Structure 1
Amino acid sequence: MLLKELCSLKLHLFDQYKAKEEHLKNVFTELFITEGDIEKVNHEHEVLQIDDAFKTCKSQNRSIKCNDVFSLNKNEKKKIVLTKGIAGIGKTVSVHKFILDWAEGKANGNIDCVFLLPFRKINCIKNRAISLHEFLQKFNPEMQDLETTKINKVYKCTLAFIFDGLDESRLSLDFDSGMVTSVEERSSVDELFASLVNRTLLPSALVWVTSRPAAANQIPPEYVGLFTEVRGFTDQQKEEYFSKRFKDTTQTSRMISHIKKSRSLYIMCYIPVFCWITATVLQDIPIGNNAEDINTTLTEMYIHFLEHTKLLDSNETMILKLAKLAFEQLKKENIVFYEKDLQACDIDVSDFESTGMLTEIFQQEAGLHEVKVFCFVHLSVQEFLAAVHVFLCYLNKNMEELQFFFEETQNKVRLNCELQSESPLHYLLVKIPDSRLMDLDMSHNELQDSGVKLLSDALKKPDCQLKILRLESCKLTGQSCESVASVLQSSNSRLIELDMSNNELQDSGVKLLSDGLKKPNCQLKILRLESCKLTGQSCESVASVLQSSNSRLIELDMSHNELQDSGVKLLSDGLKKPNCQLKILRLERCKLTGQSCEFVASALQSSNSRLIDLDMSYNNLRDSGVKLLSDALKKPNCQLEILRLKRCALTGQSCESVASVLQSSNSRLIELDMSHNELQDSGVKLLSDGLKKPNCQLKILRFEIQMHLYVDLIHMSRKTFIKLYYILYIMRCV
């Protein structure tokens, strides 16, 4: 009983913890926690992972209670429980509920003593040599008054160490060296933690570690006996939370009904802290019958949150300083900071404390040795304020502050961040076009159609100089094509290169783009539409562009789309028109056969053809198709210089066809790729013979090769003084 009383006393040391304890009893709502496993780190923004992950887990996993985490771990050799969950999902609250129920004798009676060890406080002593006993005394000063005999008994009892917030840790963890074996042995804090995890120190002790997902893999899975994940609130738990928050059942019912109408609010409210923010914002707003009555974007919610708490009116200067702090620390990936960090942003801690903002958007905690620890109430609040700082930097033309976001070389910019269409930073970038910006890459961001609409509006402004735009993998649909098409036909547009690959544009989207490409103001020269869910119907639209008198298109990539032979026929018809300017055509993995080669061959020998670079790799062309292509390559009108036929089901017979091209007086071929085909030695020998002919212009050759032919080719190139480069495959590659 003495040990339990000792640890219970810890829960009542500070007045603020008493308040939290009472509040926890009144409003605590059971969370949806599941048993899981370590997964590959998902670099997508945490909020964006919620909906899909929650739908999956509800049907596949049973819920477990936070009080059961140790009892569910049946692995006698691995005493570690690792719980992950995104910011604000309820990890720390679950830990506090576990301790409270244990201290009151409601659960885990087999545990004699529980030590709560937040990493944000551990950071304060991370550079000290310290023993485990001294370490625990820092967190539990009352242990210093215990008699020596009682201290020795402590470490023979069943102990539970709860390390909360691994993602906030600034320790350098190494689980393989410098292990500690005694509670009196002094070492670094990170070695003490690692020794408890790998059980060289107090092997019978129970250890529970909580972390955000991105940091959870710092602990090797071989040390973990049970993985759990806090998933947030289920629908029923959301209703329970709001019912506890608002005693008025009518108000609660209307608020829950409205949240269900707004998908963005509905998803966000899986996270308990968002429920709190939503309740704070909406509690005094009359709720109508339409979902539009209430703001639903995260940005708007936080603006109204600040307005509701009156912080914008009374503490504007401090808000701006906190915004700078949020930005500077986010750059360093810090979500916990200390007094020196505040001072670097011109924040005086004593003045700051007098503003009364601690419980609204910013928190201060007592660290060790009177060191003060600070954080925002939630990561998304920090992100929002950081975006506010960025926005103000743009307004004030403070470009030096914003260099962090860009890799800039001669007016070329690649954004070093992941954006959502509704993020304040994205809104900022499109509302204030940089007149110097000529190359913008926003690929692999959650822009969606709404984001491209905003971007397109900026591109039509007269001061916009942008020439190159990359939007690969941005979750776009054909609706974005309509927005971009409006840019292409604008008299202000200077766009010459566009990449919309890996988006579900479909044929309807390409039709809209094509209409824009035919307008007289359109300057576009390069268009990439790889993996856009297209069919042969898109080829008809593009072909109409190629034969337009206004078309300036010189490069087109439609790879990884099911164009099939019928689509290539339409494209080839366009290539033969006198207005066609196309020089580069890429058709990798388009479900083509040798029949496509017949259509392309007719285009190549046309007097109007300007095609110099053709890629038909990863199609089932076979030898018959290459024979048709080769016949065209020997015609005087053919301009082709680069031909790629990688993995096209070819044999040595194709080498005979190509060799006849190489020795033709009309051939302009300087680069050829026939790799990943079954050419065999006999086929390569035929190619070698073609390379020796005086008319051969080839400079680059790629194919799989055998060692004895390597020597023959080197000898041949010296004899004929041909500058020949090739890739040597000693082993067959995939």
Structure 2
Amino acid sequence: MADFQEESLESFLVRYKTADKSFSELKKECDTKLFAVLDLNYSLSLVTILGLGEVDNLAITKDNEKDKDRVIALFWKWKATQGYDATYLALISALLKCKEVEAAEQVCGYVYLGMDLSNISPASLATEGSLERQPQDEPHKRYLPISYSKSEQAKAPCEKDTSNIAWQIFDKCHDQLVDIIRGDDKLCHSLLEELYQCFLIGSAEKEVIQQLPCIDIRSKAIMGRVSTFISKGRNPIGSLAKLVSVLKSFEVFSAINRNLLMEARYADLKLRDVHASHSAKKSPPVSDKITTSATKYDEDLMTDSIKKYSRHMKLYYKKQKPDPKWSMDSAPSKVYVDLAVLNKDEVCSDPFSKSTIHGIDDDIFQRKDPLSVDELCNIEYGDAILIEGAPGIGKSMLAFEICSRWVKGKALMGYTLLLLFRLREKFVQDCETVKELLGCFLVGQSWKEEVVRDIIDNSGEGVIIILEGFDELPHELTTPDSVFLKLSFELPSASFIFTSRPSAKHCLKQEILFERHVEVIGFTKPSIEKYVTEFFKGNSEHITSFNQHLEESPKIRDSLYIPVNLVIVCTIFEQSIRNEEQVPLKGIVTSTKLYDVMIKTLLYRHMKSQNPAKSISIPDLNRLPYNLAIEFKKICEIAYNGLREKKTKLLFYANDEFETFGSNFETLGIMQKEIQLYPGKGDVVVYSFLHLTIQEFLAAYHVSQLPRKEIKEHFHRYKNVRNLATMLRFLAGLTELKSITISVNKELYNMNTLHCLYESGDESIISRLFNKSHEIFKIRRLLPKATPQDMYIIGRCIALSKCQWELSFTLRGVTHDHIERLQRGLYSEKFISCKINEISFSLNPIGDEGMIKLLCFPDRILHHLVSLRLSTCELQLQSAIEFAKRFEKFHNLSTLLYHNNRLQEGDQRSLLEAMIPMHNIKRVSFSKLSSEECSLLLTKVTNLSTVELYQLGSDSIKAIVECVPCAASLRVLRIEQSQCAVENLNQLPKALSSSTLENLELINCNINFDIVPIIVEAVLESTHLATLGLRDNFIGDKGGFLLCKMLKQLFSGTTTNRRHNSLKFLDIGHNNFTEVGVSDFVTLLASLKVADCDFALFVSLSWKDFETKFNCYSDAEKFLKFDRNED
């Protein structure tokens, strides 16, 4: 469009001389259909005119690469901000101010013409005459017509909230998948394994599914879990892509897979191909692979150029040094950190596995085995290994150790070439193609192109590549099209080792299937003891004294699994002994105090090195000698500036950061100076802090020296910035929160606020913030996952409060150690006046030991507990017995979820007996109850309103049915994953006729046509049943016909008969209906009158496929509900 002057809103509207004189239609809230189809470009001016700020602009541009997606995201943000004020009129006004007249005309055209905007031409909109409102055209029907609205399509790419659409696509093929799986037990087992391998089904869920009684129920359970994962997961599109990848490896699913992909294309969802085959070979046991490392490489792979490259790299590595971040002069050099390898084929139950859990969702329940460096180096061609670990725990040193062993011929002898890419280095990050990266160590060599071509021609066979520090890459270099991820796809026969912090692991696992997942767990207790012994050269007196100090300072003891911390603490102790000074470790309970002492010690070492003969005491950071204070201030500023980078800066190049500080810059022992050898470019001086946490402490110290107003601004500006969370904790500790006003959200999803309160050391602040007894604070789904020390802090804050709490740690990696620390925090105050209403430890391997710790919580906590959720916690008989003994303490307990534990029939009798005198219990769940236990539950435990039972045997189901009339208070009965049959349900009509049960759910109980007549008779006999749930069964068309007859009898009779009927909801989702069965229901529902019928039928999304096949579908649609995706 040619240049033009901004048109005023008034003159623009004059051109639309409509019957709508007051423009009332334009004053309505904006329809989101517009957002995906308005034809305009994203601009900062549009952001500003819509009333949004720079922060919004940065977030939108960061989260969306395409200009179109940014426009959509912008409008969604504007609508969310403005609410009811986000009208068509406001949007037109903003567009005109941006000179986007054509887009403004499109808006008017939509409102007054009701046109499909994707086909609107601007010329057709501006007319001189009156624009009469026309009915909106029906959208053109395309292949496999799920009813995706344009608003849904638009929302998906910009809000990253596509769970509904991704789940809709899957749900349409749900029943087809079940039908195929249930016919082949071997296929069912293989599919379950593949879904587990790619984390669409968790290990705990896999264990439960494998124990289900028949293949029909197992098939439904498998698809049910996948449905939940796609529906509720944080990356639904990625989950759907994984499913497509899994199905692709089974020929029997090829037709379904094609349909899934077509549906995704229609919905404008981009399902990335998961390049790594999910049917990859299982890595053999370490013991079987030992010979692999010692095998000589294939001579055919050794071209002349590769031989030269191999020699070149070995010389290059000999000049390199291992990552020295935790090496200090007095530290032993031959103590390596401990490793653990994940064993995906077993669930963890041993102490070693539980001791290594760091709260990662996909490995919480998996067994871990100790692993040596020798065993780690047994890597087969084409394998990919993931090595993860916390910052400073020794990943870089481990990567270099592997490299060093190859150079010396002690390991990886089957590989002709090893390439170690330290991903934080500039010359590595600057590579844009795989060819560039493979040759980045060669500058000026005439054979560079030849060797790169040879490596690619061989598909990387015989080459092992270590990508060290994936988490240190800028965000734009971690996307799927990044050269560092393309490597594994362009060199499929090469072997890869990735090292990363856990924060970047999820991104890697989306792209690469790892044969082995290794965790650097730092120093375990035996390793710490070994290190301390070597450090103090076996001096038993010093070792004993050192251990005594650790016992008095659990905060310090808990930090020693990180090598750099252990080295510094040992050094602090050694210097104090040598100088005959008091050891400054006693009584340290916060991280701020710990790192304050560490920094002082490092400064002391520097001062002592400058004047060895001079008597020097450990300095106070606020009273350093003048020259030292100047240098220290510079270092703190560098630390602060590095943290403020979008991607935390860990390396500082002399030519960039330090030229303004002068050539005599002093590191003071806090930073280390490295010489990086840039191939063909000479040496580059690089500085880095000894540990990221030290950098975070120094950054906080820098802020703490600013004026109070600026400190306060920093705290509130960055309180929700995740990579600055640790810095803010230190800031809270350094300032003791003086001049900073803390506000606490009622729902806490991270530990930031509680950490800051604890670090401040001022317990009166905690007491003031949580002093209202009627207020309820909720801690749930903590990210990152809580550590044992975090649990102590939570317990401590609760103990100091007077309010009420709800705690949910579902699937958070909680072990008995976490619960013990929470218990210790609760006992830190002698008298407590708070209440905990809810606790959930479901889906955590707390085991019997953790359960017993829970039972030892303060009596006041147990007395006031209302809800306790302990499903899938690996609880066994011993904990059930102990729970029964102490159940009387749970005076107010109303909800107890206890299913899917490792208990068998008869194991829970004592617990049920303990519940009999408790009259507050309203809702319970159990698995594998015997018939006697079922009778006991329903006849002796009074006041129960909701009972949920899983994996019942036939006799147990029969007992439940017989006892339902005796449970006078029972309103909801849910039976799931149990084998229902005519013989165990034949008394159901009699039971419901004399029962007040309002909700009966028989979910995934293998109910077929033979059982339906019994259920129909039971519904007709009942005068109270309002909800009947039959989801995930095998009712089929014949059973559906009987249900239709039942509904007709209930709703088509006289008014008196309808008044007798109480049924309002019937859920028949996923019951393998064909077009015939759907037709029966649609015809019946279309005949019902809305005024006389308050009823809803919950069905599968596949029913929408028949929308155009039945003339009466629109009349029936008002009774249909499609939104019951499993929670």
**TM tier relative to shorter chain:** 0.5 to 0.7
1:323-402 paired onto structure 2 within 5 Å: 334=648, 336=650, 356=668, 358=670, 374-375=688-689, 377=691, 388-389=729-730, 392=733, 398-399=742-743
Q: Which stretches in structure 2 are left out of the alignment for 5+ residues?
A: 1-306, 456-462, 578-583, 602-617, 624-631, 697-722, 754-774, 1050-1056, 1104-1124
Q: 1:295 to 1:227 in 2, by over 3 A?
A: same
Question: What is the CA–CA distance in structure 2 between the aligned matches of 1:655 and 1:466, rounded to whole Å?
Answer: 45
Pick aligned residue for 2:851 from 477, 484, 495: 477
Match of 2:1082 in 1: 714
Shift of 1:63: 1.5
State the TM-score, normalizing by the size of structure 2: 0.46
Match of 1:658 in 2: 1015
Shift of 1:634: 0.9
Q: Does 1:443 align with 2:443?
A: no
Q: Is the 8 A contact 1:655 1:683 kept in 2?
A: yes
Match of 2:985 in 1: 626
Match of 2:1098 in 1: 726
Question: What is the CA–CA distance in structure 2 between the aligned matches of 1:236 and 1:333, rounded to whole Å?
Answer: 36
1:167-182 paired onto structure 2 within 5 Å: 167-170=471-474, 172-173=476-477
Q: Does 1:119 align with 2:384?
A: no
Q: Does 1:696 align with 2:1094?
A: no
Instruction: Tell me which amino acid in the other structure corresponds to 2:1097.
Output: Y
Question: What is the CA–CA distance in structure 1 between the aligned matches of 2:419 and 2:652, rounded to whole Å?
Answer: 23
Query: Percent identity of the aligned residues?
Result: 13
Match of 1:646 in 2: 1003
Give deviations 1:413-433, integer Å, cap 9, x for gaps: 424324446324751564256
RMSD of Structure 2 on Structure 1 (CA) = 6.5
Match of 1:315 in 2: 621
Q: Is the 8 A contact 1:322 1:385 kept in 2?
A: no
Match of 2:267 in 1: none
Shift of 1:667: 1.6
Q: Is the 8 A contact 2:394 2:563 kept in 1?
A: yes
More helix by share: 2
Question: What is the CA–CA distance in structure 1 between the aligned matches of 2:933 and 2:841, rounded to whole Å?
Answer: 25
1:34-433 paired onto structure 2 within 5 Å: 56-58=369-371, 63=374, 75=381, 84-87=387-390, 88=392, 90-94=394-398, 96=400, 118-122=422-426, 126=430, 132=436, 151-152=445-446, 163-170=467-474, 172-173=476-477, 191=483, 210-212=498-500, 214=502, 215=504, 218=508, 245-248=535-538, 273=564, 276=567, 279-280=570-571, 283=574, 307=597, 310=600, 314-315=620-621, 334=648, 336=650, 356=668, 358=670, 374-375=688-689, 377=691, 388-389=729-730, 392=733, 398-399=742-743, 405=750, 412-420=778-786, 422-424=788-790, 426-428=792-794, 430-432=796-798
Pick aligned residue for 1:616 from 975, 978, 985: 975
Q: Does 1:487 align with 2:828?
A: no
Pick aligned residue for 1:525 from 875, 888, 894: 894
Pick aligned residue for 1:582 from 917, 939, 944: 944
Q: Is the 8 A contact 2:998 2:1024 kept in 1?
A: yes
Q: Is the 8 A contact 1:546 1:582 kept in 2?
A: no
Q: Is the 8 A contact 1:264 1:297 kept in 2?
A: no
Q: 1:52 to 1:387 in 2, by over 3 A?
A: farther
Shift of 1:322: 7.6
Shift of 1:614: 0.8
Give deviations 1:161-189, integer Å, cap 9, x for gaps: 86532221126458986xxxxxxxxxxxx
Classify the secondary structure of the residue corresponding to 2:369. helix
Q: Is the 8 A contact 1:482 1:509 kept in 2?
A: no
Q: How many matched pairs?
A: 657
Instruction: Tell me which amino acid in the other structure corresponds to 2:1048.
Output: K
Match of 1:667 in 2: 1023
Q: Is the 8 A contact 1:406 1:414 kept in 2?
A: no
Question: What is the CA–CA distance in structure 1 between the aligned matches of 2:592 and 2:872, rounded to whole Å?
Answer: 33
Q: 1:198 to 1:639 in 2, by over 3 A?
A: closer
Shift of 1:603: 1.3
Shift of 1:631: 0.5
Q: 1:208 to 1:155 in 2, by over 3 A?
A: farther
Shift of 1:470: 2.8
Classify the secondary structure of the residue corresponding to 2:1046. helix
Classify the secondary structure of the residue corresponding to 2:1015. helix
Q: Does 1:507 align with 2:880?
A: yes
Q: 1:166 to 1:97 in 2, by over 3 A?
A: same
Q: Is the 8 A contact 2:386 2:497 kept in 1?
A: yes
Q: 1:478 to 1:220 in 2, by over 3 A?
A: closer
Shift of 1:642: 0.5
Give deviations 1:213-271, integer Å, cap 9, x for gaps: 74577499989999998787899987876665444565799799999999999999887
Match of 1:28 in 2: 334
Q: 1:329 to 1:584 in 2, by over 3 A?
A: farther
Q: 1:712 to 1:509 in 2, by over 3 A?
A: same
**Which stretch of the first structure deviates more once superposed, 706-715 or 525-534?**
525-534
Q: Does 1:600 align with 2:957?
A: no
Q: 1:516 to 1:251 in 2, by over 3 A?
A: closer
Question: What is the CA–CA distance in structure 2 between the aligned matches of 1:619 and 1:134, rounded to whole Å?
Answer: 57
Shift of 1:698: 1.9
Question: What is the CA–CA distance in structure 1 between the aligned matches of 2:411 and 2:907, rounded to whole Å?
Answer: 66
Give deviations 1:567-589, integer Å, cap 9, x for gaps: 111112225xxxx3322111222
Q: Does 1:567 align with 2:933?
A: yes
Classify the secondary structure of the residue corresponding to 1:643. strand
Instruction: Tell me which amino acid in the other structure corresponds to 1:610.
Output: S
Give deviations 1:636-658, integer Å, cap 9, x for gaps: xx221110122435444432233
Q: 1:500 to 1:371 in 2, by over 3 A?
A: farther
Q: Does 1:516 align with 2:889?
A: yes
Q: 1:325 to 1:727 in 2, by over 3 A?
A: farther
State the TM-score, normalizing by the size of structure 1: 0.66
Question: What is the CA–CA distance in structure 2 between the aligned matches of 1:154 and 1:501, rounded to whole Å?
Answer: 59
**Which stretch of the first structure deviates more once superposed, 713-722 or 460-469?**
460-469
Question: What is the CA–CA distance in structure 1 between the aligned matches of 2:331 and 2:829, rounded to whole Å?
Answer: 54
Q: Is the 8 A contact 2:971 2:996 kept in 1?
A: yes
Q: 1:5 to 1:309 in 2, by over 3 A?
A: same
Question: What is the CA–CA distance in structure 2 between the aligned matches of 1:559 and 1:271, rounded to whole Å?
Answer: 41
Classify the secondary structure of the residue corresponding to 2:896. strand
Instruction: Tell me which amino acid in the other structure corresponds to 1:496.
Output: V
Q: 1:324 to 1:582 in 2, by over 3 A?
A: farther
Q: 1:377 to 1:129 in 2, by over 3 A?
A: same
Match of 2:866 in 1: 496
Q: Is the 8 A contact 2:340 2:368 kept in 1?
A: no
Give deviations 1:13-45, integer Å, cap 9, x for gaps: 99x9999999799723577889999999x9998
Shift of 1:99: 7.3
Q: 1:567 to 1:714 in 2, by over 3 A?
A: same
Q: Is the 8 A contact 1:436 1:465 kept in 2?
A: yes
Question: What is the CA–CA distance in structure 2 between the aligned matches of 1:329 and 1:228, rounded to whole Å?
Answer: 28
Q: Is the 8 A contact 1:34 1:228 kept in 2?
A: yes
Q: Is the 8 A contact 1:406 1:415 kept in 2?
A: no
Classify the secondary structure of the residue corresponding to 2:963. helix
Question: What is the CA–CA distance in structure 1 between the aligned matches of 2:821 and 2:978, rounded to whole Å?
Answer: 35
Match of 1:184 in 2: none
Classify the secondary structure of the residue corresponding to 2:1098. strand
Question: What is the CA–CA distance in structure 2 between the aligned matches of 1:252 and 1:51, rounded to whole Å?
Answer: 38
